[in-house]
Each structure stands twice: as C-alpha cells, then as structure tokens.
Structure 1
Amino acid sequence: MTATRWLGLATLTVLFATSALAQAPSAVGRWTTIDDETKKPKSVVVIYEEGGKLFGKVEKLFREPNEEQNPLCDKCEGTLKNQPIIGMVILRDLKKDGDEWTGGTILDPANGKTYKSKIAVEDGGKKLKIRGYIGVALIGRTQYWVRAE
C-alpha cells in the first residue's frame, strides 16, 4: 500500500470515528422505569421514532405475585379508559430540540393524568431523564429511567 493511499484511509477512519462520537446517544430503545418511592423497577417502556417524533409504549410491568399481572388503566379517560396498560402508548409527540426532545406528553397510568413532557439522554446513553409537568417545566416531576438490557 502506498503512503498516499494509507494516509487517505487513515483520514477516512478518523472522520468516521469523529462523526460517530459527535452524535448524541439516542433515546430510541428499551428503558426500565424506576419507582420514585421504592426505587424498584416498575416497567419497561420501548421508545421508538415515527414521523420524526418519539413515542413510548409500555412493554412489560414488574408486578408482585399478588397483584393483577395485566392491569387496566381504570383511572384513564376517553379511549384509554379500562384499556390494558401493557401495550399502551404513554409518551407521545416528542420532537428533537437540541440535546433533548420536547413538546410531547406523558401519561401516568397510576393516576390517569397526562402531562407535558421533555426527555434527555444522559450518562453516555445509559440514563433517560424524563420531566413531566403542568404549565411550565419548573413545576413538575423528574424521573430517571435506565437503559434495559
């Protein structure tokens, strides 16, 4: 291999490596939600992209043996009333906004309420910061989800 070809190959390798490092970790994937109070895993939510927006669907619930294994959202309203929580889309319409996704909503099946939402990937793609709020983002609740294996 000539020195010129080797230098060209090395330059391309550096360019590809640099562009890969420059990309922010994606929120797309499987995430384990953590209960605020018990700090135990609560569910697995699959985040996916559709039409340039992010959505999140409940894939699995971690339930005690004495609890209903496939509960219904009895506190939800409208078309979600009494629908199974497993398979339910709880994150909707988040749009990329710099290093985070904003402008969407999150549903809390525990109380049936929908909140404005924004999310950001942290810790090199290992954690997802979820903020649910009413009105302005300063007034709300933050959860941290961890990437599911």
Structure 2
Amino acid sequence: MKQRIASLAVIASLICFAAQSQNKADDIIGIWLTGGKEPAKIQIYKSGEKFYGKIIWLKNSIENGKQRVDANNPDKAKRSNPIIGLLMLTGFKFDGDDEWKGDDIYDPESGKTYSSYMYLKDKNTLKVRGYVGISLFGRTETWTRTN
C-alpha cells in the first residue's frame, strides 16, 4: 500500500511539473512592441507545439500613399506582399531552459533571415537575438509586451 501511494505521489508530481513547463512555454504568447527605428507590433501565437510571430502593426505602414510591402525580400515574387500580416518568426520551440529557439527570424527592413532565439527577461520584456552562424555574431533587440 505504501509503495502504491509513493508511486501515485511521483506520478502526480510529474504531471504538475509537465503542466508548469507547458504554462511557462506559453508565456511569450501575446503582442510585443519591437525596438529600433521602425517600431512594429508582433503577435506571437502557438500552433501545435511551435510558436510563430506576425507583424500586426507598423509605425510607418503607409509609404507614398500605399501600404508598405516587403520590398527587400530576396524572393521577387514576395516583394509585393504587405508588411502587415507578414510572418517573421517561424518554428520556435521552448527548450525547457527558459529559451525559445526557432527555425528563423526574418527582418523585412533588410530582407535577411537569421537564426534566432528568445528569452523572457521578465514577464513584459522579451529579448530576441538574431545571428548568422554562431550567436556571437548577431544582435539582440528588446521587445515590450503591449497586452
């Protein structure tokens, strides 16, 4: 009987740990204001077990009387796509060590795609690092939660 109770206690604690880890993974879901000279709001959402981010607002979304487009995209077929709605974070997964690592992050200002990871400094501050090759060669931006 004691062994059964001990087994149940272990199972219950594992379930609680898994639930806490899942809740922590979802902590980046929301709307974030980017830093930099062209502020934007990025909506981070979850699809399956991965996280994605799309641009939902841009400070200067109108250019020459028209909605700004992804003019610097290396794929010429995508250069007429509007910036608003553009998917810029793809395939991020929570690694269990307080970081989200992704397939890539796209910078529409330069048209370049970078390797990336993110971590929460606190519940309202997200550090986003984009880099080429190794993370030593990159840049970190600070994003602020807006919702």
Q: Distance in 2 between matches of 1:61 and 1:132?
A: 20
Aligned pair in 2 of structure 1 residues 59, 146: CA closer, same or farther (>3 Å)? same
From 48, 52, 71, the equivalent of 1:74 is: 71
- SS of 2:102's equivalent in the other structure is strand
Aligned pair in 2 of structure 1 residues 133, 68: CA closer, same or farther (>3 Å)? farther
Structure 1: gaps of 5 or more residues: 1-15
- SS of 1:74's equivalent in the other structure is coil
Give the letter for the 1:54 counterpart. F
Identify which range, 102-111 or 67-76, moves more after superposition. Answer: 67-76
Runs of at least 4 residues of structure 1 off by over 4 A? 64-69
Structure 2: gaps of 5 or more residues: 1-15
Q: Distance in 1 between matches of 2:126 and 2:65?
A: 28
How many residue pairs were aligned?
126
Aligned residue runs from structure 1 range 82-93, under 5 A = 82-93=80-91
Give the letter for the 1:121 counterpart. L
**2:111 aligned partner:** 112
Q: Distance in 2 between matches of 1:120 and 1:76?
A: 27
Query: Offset at 1:42?
Result: 0.5
Query: Offset at 1:26?
Result: 0.5
Give the letter for the 2:49 counterpart. G
Q: Distance in 2 between matches of 1:68 and 1:52?
A: 40
Q: Distance in 2 between matches of 1:46 and 1:116?
A: 19
- SS of 1:83's equivalent in the other structure is coil
Aligned residue runs from structure 1 range 6-17, under 5 A = none
Query: Offset at 1:64?
Result: 8.3
Give % identity.
34
Give the letter for the 1:133 counterpart. Y
**2:44 aligned partner:** 47
Contact 1:45–1:60 under 8 Å retained in 2: yes
Aligned pair in 2 of structure 1 residues 28, 64: CA closer, same or farther (>3 Å)? closer
Give the letter for the 1:73 counterpart. D
Please give the root-mean-square deviation of Cα atoms over the aligned residues, in Å. 2.5
